[in-house]
Every structure is written in structure tokens, then in C-alpha cells.
Amino acid sequence: MFAGAITALVTPFRSGAVDLDALNGLVNWQIEKGIDGLLACGCTGEAATLTTEEQLLVIEKVMEASAGRVPVIAGTGTNATASSIELSLEAAAMGVDGVLLITPYYNKPTPKGQIEHYTKVADAVDCPVILYNVPGRTGTNMLPSTIAVLSKHPGIVAIKDAAGSAERVTAIRNLCDITILSGDDPLAMAQVALGGSGVISVVSNIAPSEMSDLISLTAAGELDAARAVQAGLYPVIKAMFLETNPIPVKKALSLMGLITDELRLPLVSMSGELVPELKGVLEEAGIL
């Protein structure tokens, strides 16, 4: 079910509130450009600063706008098992195709705690669960052996791995057959070539067709063509991390006229001295 290029959607704001019109436009544009799936309320969607009501509203509106045309995943993980269950149950009741659960941040659980956390959530929800390992944000790296244990649960079907290592795909695949989705745009091609099924991407917010082509070509073994796409996309990928994600991608989307350049504190708009560099990269890539 989860494969190809999946966009980790930004959450557009206007005057402090979620901009539902812009969100609807983003979803439709993404699907028209050939994206394979959508993630609502991930890290790129600033889920940590959304209220529960806002988070459920965003998930609901993404579901409505997509209208079954592509799979929709909801980010429902928190650093508390009880609230992760509560939010996941709400999303599952809306009919999402899966829930993405970040490794609990700040409290940094041990492997045993991670196993108990994810098992409790997966036991509670009648919906596919995707693990999300992103040590750069959580301070904890999920071990391949932990992933292998969790993969035995029938409700845990995939992992988004953003540990910054292509070799982890091989390490995980040697232990279990869980679906592996890249969480690192620069490594997505390599991770798919090693046996990953796709990517949950930041850069596909602004380049959905290109990222979709990159993943599909790699999966088909057309590596020369995939390398050409990767070469063209690489400067754009790098530009998306000139500052903390999603600051650059929101600036890019605003330059494209798709959203306002509004973030929620403590994130602020991109530093002025970096904007010309970003614009130059987008113009060179034909995005602007």
C-alpha cells in the first residue's frame, strides 16, 4: 500500500489559522502532478504546534480533498503513549490509510519502551501503523533489531527511516521484511535501490513530479535515468535544508504563489540573506 513518492505536506497558515483553501489547493496540485500519497501533520506539517482540534481538522480536510485518489497517512505520534492512541483512534475513525508514529521525543525511551509504546498503539487501532525513526528530532535512534521485533505485529506494516544512513535499509531487510520508506530526500534513490519501497518527502512539496519520477525510475531499475533526475533535483533538495524544515519549503511554496509564507512560533520566516540563494536554485531548476 505504501510505496512511491509520498509528500509530507506543509500546513499552510493565514493570519494565525490553518488556511483550508490553500490546503485544498495543495492537495489537488500534488495529485495532479502525480504524487503517490500524502502525509498530513508530520514534522513538515508543524504538527507539534497544532492543537488537537487543528490536527484533526487538517487530516479531515486532506482526506476530503484527496477523495480516495491517493493514500493518506496521518501523523499521530506524540511523546506520550496515551495521547498517541487517542489521536490515532480519531484519525483511524476518519478512514485514513495509515498512521505515522514518531519515536517518542524528549523522554527518549529505551528499545523496550519503544516496543511497548508502539505495540500499545498498534493493539488499539484498526489501522496500519508506520513507525517513524528520526533521531535528529527525537534524540533516539531506533535499532534495526527493535524494528524487527515490531514488524511481527500484524498492524505495524512500515517504517519511515530518517536516520541518515543508506546502509540501514540492508540492516533492516536482513532482519525482517517490513516496508521501508526513506525519510531522507538526499538518500531516497540509494535507499530505494537497496530495497526501500519509496520516500516520505519534503522536496516533493515543490517538485512532486520530479520526486515521483526519481522513485519510480529507481524502483524499475532504470538507474541512468534516475541518476539524471537526482542530479537535477539535488540542489533543490539541499536548498530545502538551508534552515530548519519547513522554513525553506514554505518560503519556496510562497514564492510559487501556493501559500503564504507563514509559520507558527517558534519557527520564523527564512532569513532574508538566504532568500536570493533559494530563489536562484528554484529558478535554475525551472520551479520558478
User: What residues act catalytically?
Assistant: 132, 160
Strand partners, 14: 17
What cell was used for 247?
522554513
> What is the CA angle 145-151-154, rounded to 5?
160
Query: 68: burial class by Cβ within 10 Å (0-12, 13-18, 19+)?
Result: exposed
What cell was used for 276?
536570493
* Three-state SS at 127: coil
Strand ranges inside 46-90, DSSP E:
72-75
Rounded to the nearest angstrom, the gap between the alpha carbon of residue 217 and the centroid of all alpha carbons in its chain is 20
Residues whose CB is less than 8 angstroms from the CB of residue 202 and which lie 6 or more positions away in sequence, other chains included: 8, 44, 185, 240, 245, 246, 249
Strand partners, 100: 75, 130
Task: State how far the alpha carbon of 163 is from the alpha carbons of 18, 74, 139, 142, 230, in Å.
Answer: 30, 21, 11, 9, 20
Residues whose CB is less than 8 angstroms from the CB of residue 159 and which lie 6 or more positions away in sequence, other chains included: 130, 131, 132, 133, 142, 147, 172, 178, 179, 180, 181
